Amino acid sequence: MSQTQLLDDLLNPLIKPALLLKLSNSEQAEQASCASKFGGLPYAEANETWASCPTCKNELTFVAQIKLPAENSLHTFFYCFDCFPWGFGDEEKGQWLIRSYQNPNMANYVAIAPSHVSEYEISACTCTEQSVKTLPDFNDLEVLSPEAAQIFSENDRYEDYEVAAAERGCLTDYATFIGGYPKWIQSETTKVCAICGDEMAFFAQIDSEDNADVMWGDSGAVYLFRCATHKNEFALELQCY
């Protein structure tokens, strides 16, 4: 069997779809909507208020909202850039926040806004969605398919694997995307649900995005995880160089 055939047999079954979000600065994104976007006003419904950080008492910054077309849900993501949580267990809950909406509809929209302009204001961007394919990070591959991982030679294994992934049409760049496999900056990580203790599924990766003025430390990324059972339970990890 050729190496290409062997790699096809081992890697192709691992490929997972993801939704790549490409950002464009847009005045339109200042307005609330039910679409994925960065900055501007977040989607919100009745009886909600702008959340503040329990630690520093400053208002959280609205970073982005993410739409999951498959389940018609929307998830608004707020973050405290003063406390800058990394997702460690000892951080006070509420330094970042995700609010989830099933079947969001502008007919149910009620405006919320911070009481003053944040110094960490995000530049409003619309998101164009593109279906992409992903393969696991090499370190995850070693766990998921040791057989596939051992094909790659010691010296250039990361580069060779990236080539193999690109040849199969998979995303190899750091990016903002929903679903698929995370592309780690540091080592791979798992998170467990605070309610049931089950390992959470990878939900989305939010990259540092120049257009939106979002910078996670030194060109880092935020990884979001979600419990498959408790769909309002999320976990966060921030990694940077």
CB of 55 to Zn ion, least distance (A): 5
What burial class does residue 213 get, using C-beta atoms within 10 Å of its C-beta: 0-12 exposed, 13-18 middle, 19+ buried?
A: middle
CB of residue 195 vs Zn ion: minimum separation in angstroms? 4
Length of the chain: 241
Instruction: Compute, in degrees rounded to 10, the torsion defined by CA atoms 140, 146, 151, 152.
Output: 30
Q: Which is nearer to Zn ion, 58 or 172 (CB)?
A: 58
Nearest one of 98, 126, 89 to 212, comparing CA atoms: 126
Q: How far is the CB of 232 from Zn ion (least distance, A)?
A: 10
Cβ(136)–Cβ(144) below 8 Å: yes
Q: How far apart are CA 131 and CA 34, in angstroms?
A: 19
Apex CA 190: angle with CA 188 and CA 193, to 5°? 165
Q: If binding is defined by CB under 5 A, does position 193 make contact with Zn ion?
A: yes
Kindly report the CA angle at 89 between 138 and 47, in degrees rounded to 5?
105
Near Zn ion by CB under 5 A: residue from 195, 210, 231, 232? 195
Selected from 17, 229, 231, 232, the binder of Zn ion by CB under 5 A is 229
**Closest separation in Å from C-beta 99 to Zn ion:** 17
* Binders in 44-63 for Zn ion, by CB under 5 A: 53, 55-56
The least CB distance from residue 201 to Zn ion, in Å, is 10
The residue within the footprint of Zn ion, chosen from 6, 70, 196, 201 (CB under 5 A), is 196
- Which of these segments, 69-77, 101-109, 117-125, 219-227, binds Zn ion (CB under 5 A)? 219-227
The crossing angle, in degrees rounded to 10, of helices 3-11 and 157-167 is 80
Count, residues near Zn ion per rule CB under 5 A: 12
Q: Which residues in the 62-101 window bind Zn ion by CB under 5 A?
A: 80, 82-83
> Which residues would be at the binding site for Zn ion (CB under 5 A)?
53, 55-56, 80, 82-83, 193, 195-196, 227, 229-230
